[in-house]
Chains A and B, each alone.
Chain A
Amino acid sequence: MSGFGVAFRIGVELVAALVVGVGAGLLLDRWLGTTPWFLIVFFFLGAAAGVLNVYRAASGIGLAEAEGAPAPSDGEPEEQDDDWPGGTGSDRP
């Protein structure tokens, strides 16, 4: 994947969580009439979630590992079926 693609993905991750946080804060404020307290709280929660998303995207829980290695399955071994539709499977673990 190109560097531009990675950069764009990380930018979107950061903004998306912020959008959810601010949106949830505004809706709760309108519903409960507590302007602006929920907006303030959820803005910071959304920002934290955005940083968490970026950290996860950058540290490889996501696209980076999907390039080659299979996703970690927490030590539970999966039996391999032979009739899986993935074709030969010779080049796959």
Chain B
Amino acid sequence: MANPLHQFEIQVVAPIHFGDVNASLTNSGVFMLITVAAVTLFLMFGMRNRRLVPGRWQSMAELSYEFIAGMVRDNVGNEGRRYFPFIFSLFMFILFGNLIGLVPYSFTFTSHIIVTFAMAMFVFLGVTVIGIVRHRLKFFSYFLPKGVPLVMAPLLIPIEIMSYLSRPISLSIRLFANMMAGHTMMKVFAGFVVPLGILGGWAPLSIDVALTAFEFLVAFLQAYVFTILTCIYLHDAIHLH
């Protein structure tokens, strides 16, 4: 039976070395480039001939734009508008990465924790810097909830700091685990199709058909969750509580 984890193996496509630093282009990197190109093409092609009554492609481009614009507006408020380009890029990158990963023989870079952790850490550090720049030292009052007696502060502040530091971990694990679990499950069931023969093989095949539909849902949902949590963290940093 084929190894269901083979799909996650990193393969070097073009070896690049800067001194001791291994900066080789891997299949993960190739699919990131493909994703960026696909997002760019999607938006460029969608907005190529702008009409008052949009066509199909223009509708999809406008829909994704308004979806994120509404999300930023509802969850961050008016101060969030200047971070819209970043949040929109983040959403499109994760969504297209998840969807392109569903194509057979492709590679899902969001199924690697180092990729999702790098994105989550960037969001976390960026949001913290925004909070500190906006509120200076008042930002650290975030760790002491309002109306707490001072006696409890030595216990509550470490707990709040832990809770704050766990954000990038939960953010990255959620996306990575969902993508990896789904893809592994699909490959495990697919591995049973041929060995079970013409009579028994239909059962895992039909499960795989259902799982494929479910994976499309997960691909969208996890991009949505990652983006909306970024918005909520940004809201916390801007408004403090």
Contacts and interface: CB of A to CB of B under 8 A. Distances in A.
A86 to B, nearest CB: 4
Given A71-B232, A86-B69, A16 B74 contact: no
Contacts of A8: 174, 177-178
A30 interface: no
Interface residues of A, number: 42
Interface stretch (B42-50, B165-173, B185-193, B205-213): B165-173
B70 A86 contact: yes
Contact of B221 (A5, A56, A79, A93): A5
A49 B72 CA distance: 27
Nearest to A44: B159
A52 B74 contact: no
B178 A85 contact: no
A5 B77 CA distance: 26
A9 B65 CA distance: 26
B184 interface: no
B166 A19 contact: yes
Contacts of A79: 78
Nearest to A10: B170
Nearest to B221: A5
Interface in A1-20: 1-2, 5, 8-9, 12-13, 15-17, 19-20
Given A49-B160, A70-B75, A78-B77, 4 more contacts: A45-B159, A74-B239, A80-B78, A81-B78
